[in-house]
Amino acid sequence: MIRFITQRLIQLIPVLFGVTILVFGILHLTPGDPALIMAGESAPEATVNAIRRRLGLDNPLHIQYFDFLKNVLTLDFGTSIRDNIPVSDHISARFFITFELAVISTAFSIFAGLLVGIVSAVWKYSFWDVSLMVITLFGLSMPNFWLGLMLIQWFSINLGWFAPTGWGNPNQMVLPVIALGTAGAAIIARMTRSSMLDVIGQDYIRTARAKGVKERSVIFKHALKNALIPVVTVAGLQFGYFLSGSVLTESVFAINGLGRLIIDSIFARDFPVVQGTVLVLAVMFVTVNFLVDITYKFLNKRVDLN
């Protein structure tokens, strides 16, 4: 286990290094001049050049990149071009909103997906199985931004049950979590059903039933535990997606999380904020995948991590 953890930690270094290069390169190749945006379209060229020198934008790209990388290693993500506020302050102010949205959405996806998947597997080819699989197909097909708009129309405007925007209290959390977590729940449900059907057909399940073990114990104690390994993979990837891919949901529900921060910063050509935010999300994503691999061993002792 220790050897595996060490190997994976070493493998994370080039991944994160590649992320910084990719993000830095794409942003700086995008047309537009941050100094001109800050100074205004009608600003004198001398003013624009002064701002460019102050921000270090007149240096060659490789110098700008290594300056950025050197600061990141000391947890200094720089200062926002727009408002001269440290990037770490922007990230810390919004990180826990996105993190909370991702955690709750993942919990919703796992709970709903496991419930639907288990019911479909236990009563396969029944009315419930067919109906639930059709519903999951719709869940996979609907874009989360469209689902979010429909939820606002139905449950906020028409019925007035939930708040249409914002984040902070349960009344505001329900609709964004459903909009973001529905597709993940559908994926987990279909994965759970497939995995459960494979496990239920194994010899040790038939042996447990032959010994008179209660059906509930057969399903939850024997079958579900061994069927969870592929489900854990999907759930971990979904959590990483919710962290980094909640931009549309945050925009629809006017949630001031990291997703909206990235979008606003891209339009403002605020390179330090975009770079710092994407790097934080990348670290979170690879950390989640690392933890998923560790979880394999606890779910199934036969999994070899070396």
pLDDT digits (tens, 9 = 90+) for 188-245: 888 888 877 777 767 666 677 676 767 666 676 667 767 777 777 777 778 877 877 6
Question: Does 304 reside within a domain?
Answer: no
Q: Are residues 270 and 125 part of one domain?
A: yes
CB 189 within 8 A of CB 136: yes
Instruction: Count other Cβ atoms within 10 Å, centred on residue 209.
Output: 14
Q: Letter for the amino acid at 252?
A: V
Question: Does 44 reside within a domain?
Answer: yes
196 versus 102: which is more confidently predicted?
Answer: 102
Question: Does 51 reside within a domain?
Answer: yes
pLDDT at 215: 67
144 — pLDDT class (breaks 50, 70, 90): confident
Q: Are residues 234 and 99 part of one domain?
A: yes
282 — pLDDT class (breaks 50, 70, 90): confident
56: left (phi over 0), alpha (psi -120 to 50) or beta: left
Mention every residue, 6+ apart, whose C-beta is less than 8 A from residue 38. 51, 81, 82
Q: Which of 73, 108, 132 is the last residue of a domain?
A: 73
Q: Are residues 278 and 150 part of one domain?
A: yes
Structure tokens, 159: 């019925």
Q: Are residues 68 and 112 part of one domain?
A: no
User: Rounded mean pLDDT of 168-181?
Assistant: 86
Q: Are residues 156 and 109 part of one domain?
A: yes
Lowest mean pLDDT among 24-38, 51-65, 262-276: 24-38
Question: Does 79 reside within a domain?
Answer: no
Domain, as residue range, for 139: 94-299
Q: Are residues 106 and 50 part of one domain?
A: no
CB 57 within 8 A of CB 35: yes
Question: Does 83 reside within a domain?
Answer: no
Q: Are residues 133 and 278 part of one domain?
A: yes
Q: Which of 44, 73, 102 is the last residue of a domain?
A: 73
User: Rounded mean pLDDT of 152-168?
Assistant: 85
Question: What pairs with residue 86 in β-bridges?
Answer: 79
Integer angstrom CA distances of residue 131 from 124, 126, 193: 11, 9, 13
Q: Are residues 156 and 281 part of one domain?
A: yes
136 — pLDDT class (breaks 50, 70, 90): confident
Q: What sign for the dihedral angle of Cα 203, 208, 214, 218?
A: negative
Q: Are residues 254 and 111 part of one domain?
A: yes
Which of 19-33, 54-68, 88-102, 205-219: highest mean pLDDT?
88-102
Q: Are residues 121 and 55 part of one domain?
A: no
- Residue 146 above 60 pLDDT? yes
Q: Are residues 129 and 44 part of one domain?
A: no
Three-state secondary structure call for residue 79: strand
CATH of the domain at 252: 1.10.3720.10
The total domain count for the chain is 2
Distance CA 305, CA 302 (A): 9
Q: In a 10 Å sphere around its CB, with 0-12 CB exposed, 13-18 middle and 19+ buried, how is residue 211 labelled?
A: exposed
Structure tokens, 267: 């339009």
Q: Which of 39, 73, 107 is the last residue of a domain?
A: 73
pLDDT at 52: 76
Structure tokens, 15: 């991944």
pLDDT at 30: 67
Integer angstrom CA distances of residue 274 from 27, 244, 259: 9, 12, 10
Query: What's the DSSP call for residue 156?
Result: I
148 versus 217: which is more confidently predicted?
Answer: 148
Residue with tokens 């060490």: 6
Q: Are residues 189 and 150 part of one domain?
A: yes
Question: Does 80 reside within a domain?
Answer: no
CB 167 within 8 A of CB 161: no
- pTM for the full predicted model: 0.77
Report the share of the chain in percent with pLDDT over 70: 84
Report the candidate in 276, 235, 283, 270 with the shortest Cα–Cα distance to residue 258. Answer: 276
